[in-house]
A and B are shown apart, each in its own frame.
Chain A
Amino acid sequence: MKKPILPTVYLRLLAGAVLPAFREAFALRRASVKRPRPGLFRMLMPRAPDLKCDTTARAHVGLGFGTALRGAVILAAHDPVGHAVGAHPPDGLARFQIPEVGFDGWLRFAGGSLEGGHGEPPAPADVTVCFPHFRTALLALRDELDTMAAIGTGEMLVTGSLPLAERLNVVLERMSDYFPPKK
């Protein structure tokens, strides 16, 4: 694997789509709609100084990984590359865990389609990707993690089928084609 299992797609997703949509809506309905509380913005798209705060960083990590798993399911269904990746083996279930923020999600390739969810998965995981420390997961979200080194040092634990993790990574990386990072 050459890139983080879960890259910065979340930030890109939010930066590229969700927040602009919010802002457009606010522009149209400025008179009648209140702006979200500043705290929400800090949570969704934090500035680097905000991430020094553990509370903000933990929430950001949980939201980010949740968004990434959901996005992967959508891409596998509708994106040509994601769909093509789904057509190749291996099938199986991948579980993603960040215990420090209580994140526990899963994705499952089966018969060319991808499904996902949170909490206890419906079957034993073929591969488990675990970030023992949420700060490592944060680096992965921000595309600042040397994944191969992190696996070697134990900062990131991948147990089970590495090819399945790699296959999911290809789908996740595809997100950045839809939501290119803001310059």
Chain B
Amino acid sequence: MSATSNPPGLPARAGSDFSPVIPPPAANGISGHHGYAESRRLFARASRVTPGGIYGHTSPALTVPGDFPYYAARAEGGRYWDVDGNEYIDYMCSYGPVVLGHHHPEVEAAVDRQRRDGDCFNHPTEAMVELAERLVDLVDFGDWAVFGKNGSDMTTWAIRVAREFTGRKIILRVRHSYNGSHAWCSPGHGGLVAEDRVHVQAFDWNNLDNFRDLVRRHRGKVAALIASPFHHPSFGDSVMPAPGFWAGVQETCRQEGIVLILDDVRAGFRLHLGGSHRVFGFEPDLICFSKALGNGHAIAATVGRAELKVAASRVFLTGSFWFNAVAMRAALATLAVLERDDGIGRMRRTGEQLMAGLQERALRHGLRVIASGPPAVPFLRFADETDWRRQQLFCAEIARRGVFFHPHHNWFVCAAHTEADVAETLAAADAAFAVVSDATA
């Protein structure tokens, strides 16, 4: 196979200069697609001055390199535009934070008002008190709240609170789950030493026996269990909790004095306004939020029950920008709009319509797909595929047609997505599935 030859059964792609998968718009009839030349030009500049060019979860290496946009220019509602002028219906929503739609007018008005008064002070503002009160009201078990900027800030702090409260060391987490980018849970390999994870043990999602075995083996030493409400690994299907799983986890945690931490960073405020545990019928001791809380403004929160408040007060928590008022005003406005407009119900209905339509369109082309995850945080991939190539081709093709789906990471619906957006998405999907079907025929 030469450098530019294809994976078996798929059209030509990827020469050293990223020869496109299919011919340019003029030849393939995809109107409005301008290619990715400016994205690539910026990336070439970036790779000279930034390690990796773009690092972390938005790295091109994790998408479809050469056949995907790398840089954004602007966004509005449920859509965004890349630096080449391509417009997309945005089903990643900035990997979750945008829950009401980009640049939501009421959120931005609240932000503008606070910005005029100031953002970064010597002290917190009244907004912090209001936001803590609001979250304590929303979360059924919540008696107090603290704030940070990112999910990792909160998950790392939460396990320290559990250790302070219990006087124990061991943290249990779900194998192949994502709880943040810090050393105890980072999915990367670089810069780690064995001691970073010596007190962290993993069990398989939905495997109560596996979890209880670990608890038995380390009886009296487990400080906390941290897990997301459903399992959402990259490069895999999302897996909902099995019947009885969360009830069993909660029962064991209560019996053994283990702090139950819900990592609701990814799903929070998309499944239930009071925390995703409400959907699955259990009650954690701590819940970590970020992403959707501020509709794109940088804020994270942990809400906890009263018994943990003293321990929480002893675990140092701060950051240079963690008391900034603008993001807190954004969060207050986001929560108000979500509640008033039943944003969560709206996202659920949109997601259901989207996923049913995608499955139906795939079937029309003789393609078997697997849909997974809750409707507002869905994912879809091709069945019987281990190499992800059809998935990558589908996502590249639909991106050319104005829809942004990630090939390997769960998607996000926002409250700004409309029925018309879904209809447009399904029309684009029809064409993209046709390409995949032809390529694999």
Contact = CB atoms under 8 A, between A and B. Distances in A.
Given A90-B386, A160-B387, A162-B62, A153 B235 contact: no
A115 interface: no
Given A151-B60, A152-B70, A154-B65, A159 B16 contact: no
Interface residues of B, number: 39
Interface stretch (A31-39, A44-52, A56-64, A92-100): A92-100
B28 interface: no
Interface in B65-116: 65-66, 70
A154 to B, nearest CB: 4
B40 A153 contact: yes
Given A92-B386, A128-B1, A160-B389, A154 B235 contact: no
A99 B8 CA distance: 18
Contact of B2 (A99, A124, A160, A173): A99
A132 B60 CA distance: 18
Nearest to B8: A124
B14 A159 contact: yes
Interface in A58-104: 90-92, 95, 97, 99, 104
B190 A3 contact: yes
Contacts of B62: 162
A161 interface: yes
A148 B52 contact: yes
Interface string B38-71: 0010011011000111110001111001100010
A136 B59 CA distance: 19
A5 to B, nearest CB: 11
Contact of B65 (A104, A126, A151): A151
A155 interface: yes
A114 interface: no
Name the residue in B40, B54, B61, B389 with the highest tally of chain A Cβ atoms < 10 Å from its Cβ.
Answer: B61
Contacts of A127: 387
B7 interface: yes
A149 B52 contact: yes
Interface string A110-144: 00000000000000111110101100000000000
Contacts of B15: 132, 154
A2 interface: yes
Given A154-B17, A154-B18, A173-B189, A160 B7 contact: yes
A95 B7 CA distance: 11
B16 A154 contact: yes
B190 A125 contact: no
B190 A152 contact: no
Contacts of B408: 162
Interface residues of A, number: 36
B368 to A, nearest CB: 18
A14 interface: no
B29 interface: no
B243 interface: no
A129 B283 CA distance: 46
Interface string B1-22: 1111001100001111110000
A157 interface: yes
Given A132-B16, A151-B60, A151-B61, A97 B1 contact: yes
Name the residue in A104, A152, A163 with the highest tally of chain B Cβ atoms < 10 Å from its Cβ.
Answer: A152
A146 B52 contact: yes
Given A97-B1, A99-B3, A125-B7, A152 B13 contact: no
B184 interface: no
A107 interface: no
Given A125-B387, A161-B386, A163-B235, A152 B60 contact: yes
Name the residue in B40, B54, B66 with the highest tally of chain A Cβ atoms < 10 Å from its Cβ.
Answer: B66
B1 A155 contact: no
Nearest to B187: A166
Contacts of B54: 148, 152
A47 to B, nearest CB: 27
B388 interface: yes
A170 interface: yes
B281 interface: no
B3 A132 contact: yes
Given A146-B52, A153-B40, A154-B14, 11 more contacts: A1-B61, A2-B190, A92-B386, A126-B386, A132-B16, A149-B46, A151-B60, A152-B52, A152-B60, A152-B61, A160-B388
23 contacts: A90-B386, A92-B386, A95-B1, A124-B387, A126-B386, A128-B7, A130-B3, A146-B53, A147-B61, A148-B54, A149-B43, A149-B47, A152-B59, A152-B65, A152-B70, A153-B40, A154-B18, A154-B65, A157-B14, A157-B16, A157-B65, A160-B387, A162-B61
Interface of B: 1-4, 7-8, 13-18, 40, 43-44, 46-47, 51-55, 59-62, 65-66, 70, 188-190, 235, 386-389, 392, 408
Which are the 3 A-B pairs with shortest beta-carbon distances?
A132-B16, A148-B52, A149-B47
